[in-house]
Amino acid sequence: MRLIFLGPPGSGKGTQAKLLAERLGVPAISTGDMLRDAVRRGTPLGRRAQAIMDAGELVPDDVVIGLVRERIALPDAAKGFLLDGFPRTIEQAEALDRILRGNAAPLDGVINLLVPEGTLLERLLGRAALEGRSDDRRETVAERLRIYREKTAPLVQHYRDLGLLTDVDGSGSIDEVAGRIDRALVRPARAAGRA
């Protein structure tokens, strides 16, 4: 199973990708987590990425594409993976497509988490208070939402046109959303069975 989780910051992609990855027994690959790890370890990449992330901007495409290319080549990703936070631009989506085509391992689907903007802000600012993520400050949050709309939201139509996208209501509790994701994943399989 190879899936992408799409959705604005605060939509719960990371939480749901990790939970679904456990249920499916495949790795959840989060470019945000990989970059934060590089920042913590103070690697050259981390030093380059920190200021960009703190400003709520996007790390250059070639950098994250390289990270993902290497990560999905690791043995634990051979039977599948969930991508969280990647792709975030059309260029990243096209690079992913080339990588997967090279591996003869096409995408199975894209889960698009839908959450009203007011809820996103509440969740992100709540997380800032709880976890102290340095990019969850009010000014940065507004910038991340703006960048999402400008750069990442076009991917929704891109994957819808490819027939890969399923919208999932991301409001409510973690369990409620997880239940909706499970139902969204069995639906295409049943439809295929009937055909």
Q: Is 133 a catalytic residue?
A: yes
Minimum distance from residue 88 beta carbon to ligand ADP (Å) = 4
CA 28 to chain centre: 9
Which of 26, 58, 164, 177 touches ligand ADP by CB under 6 A?
58
Which of 6, 39, 59, 120 touches ligand ADP by CB under 6 A?
59
Q: Is 47 a catalytic residue?
A: no
Which of 28, 29, 39, 88 touches ligand ADP by CB under 6 A?
88
Minimum distance from residue 187 beta carbon to ligand ADP (Å) = 26
How would you write the chain as a 3-class SS string?
A: CEEEEECCCCCCHHHHHHHHHHHHCCCEEEHHHHHHHHHHHCCHHHHHHHHHHHCCCCCCHHHHHHHHHHHHCCHHHCCCEEEECCCCCHHHHHHHHHHHHHCCCCCCEEEEEECCHHHHHHHHHHHHHHHCCCCCCHHHHHHHHHHHHHHHCHHHHHHHHCCCEEEEECCCCHHHHHHHHHHHHHHHHHHHHHC
Which region among 56-64, 110-118, 159-167, 170-178 touches ligand ADP (by CB under 6 A)?
Answer: 56-64
- Separation CA 14–CA 106 (nearest Å): 22
- Cβ distance to ligand ADP smaller for residue 10 or 109: 10
Minimum distance from residue 67 beta carbon to ligand ADP (Å) = 8
Q: Is 127 a catalytic residue?
A: yes
Which of 52, 90, 107, 178 touches ligand ADP by CB under 6 A?
52
The contact pattern for ligand ADP, residues 120-159, with x = CB under 6 A and - = no contact, is: ---------------x--------x---------------
Catalytic-labelled residue, pool 48, 69, 133, 151:
133
- Separation CA 85–CA 31 (nearest Å): 6
- Separation CA 118–CA 41 (nearest Å): 34
The residues carrying an active-site annotation are: 13, 88, 127, 133, 144
Which positions lie near ligand ADP, rule CB under 6 A? 9, 31-32, 35, 52-53, 56-59, 64, 85-86, 88, 92, 135, 144
